[in-house]
């Protein structure tokens, strides 16, 4: 059983922000798999089930994401190596996609919370959202909506990321890295 976690903040004001890109990928996967909601208040999140797959959107707000992940992990006895976390990454250019196992949280408060609750050796799906000109602007930047230009490719990028996550059902991290990593997601030119 894989546990796929998409990070974000609950509530309409945050719905289309850069910080919520993980939620958007989970929404796509829930739709694609026709997953059924099986949430419980103790999970502190929206949990959906598909065959051999759990899809989680923590509703604790970003800084406490680990509480939700730990609750679901413990309830379903999920091994750390079977947890995949999808999150925004300001250290990658917009629409880049990278994958790694373990490592540092890089200042991301959602990852910091998860690391503290369950450890670091889970797979990370890093979705590049670029960064603002000044470090002091990071909090505002990730809590702002995507720009009009970014919105033009957002759906294609989310679809590509969802396909990558689906590949984890049958393939290992190295396969997914080599087939789905992106420097930048640009639409393919029509021939």
Q: Which residues are catalytic?
A: 19
Cα gap 72→78, rounded to integer Å: 8
With CA atoms as reference, report the closest residue to 83 among 2, 23, 8, 167. Answer: 2
Beta strands in the chain (DSSP E): 2-6, 36-37, 45-50, 53-58, 83-89, 97-101, 123-128
Cα gap 156→101, rounded to integer Å: 25
Cα gap 28→8, rounded to integer Å: 14
Cα gap 10→190, rounded to integer Å: 38
CA distances 83 to 73, 96, 131, 133, Å, are: 8, 21, 27, 33
Tokens matching residue 55: 């899809």
């Amino acid at each position: 059983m894989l546990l796929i976690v998409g990070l974000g903040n609950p509530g309409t004001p945050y719905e289309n922000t850069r910080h919520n890109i993980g939620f958007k990928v989970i929404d796509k996967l829930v739709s694609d798999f026709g997953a059924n909601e099986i949430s419980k208040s103790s999970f502190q999140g929206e949990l959906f089930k598909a065959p051999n797959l759990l899809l989680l959107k923590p509703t604790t707000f970003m800084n406490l994401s680990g509480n939700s992940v730990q609750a679901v992990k413990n309830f379903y006895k999920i091994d750390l190596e079977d947890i995949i976390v999808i999150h925004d990454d300001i250290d990658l250019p917009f629409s880049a996609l990278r994958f790694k196992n373990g490592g540092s949280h890089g200042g991301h408060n959602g990852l910091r919370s998860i690391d503290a609750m369950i450890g670091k050796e889970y797979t990370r799906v890093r979705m590049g959202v670029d960064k603002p000109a000044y470090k002091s602007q990071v909090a505002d930047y990730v809590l702002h909506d995507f720009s009009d230009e970014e919105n033009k490719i957002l759906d294609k990028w989310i679809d590509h990321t969802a396909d990558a996550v689906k590949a984890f059902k049958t393939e290992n991290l190295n396969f997914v890295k080599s087939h789905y990593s992106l420097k930048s997601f640009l639409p393919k030119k029509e021939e």
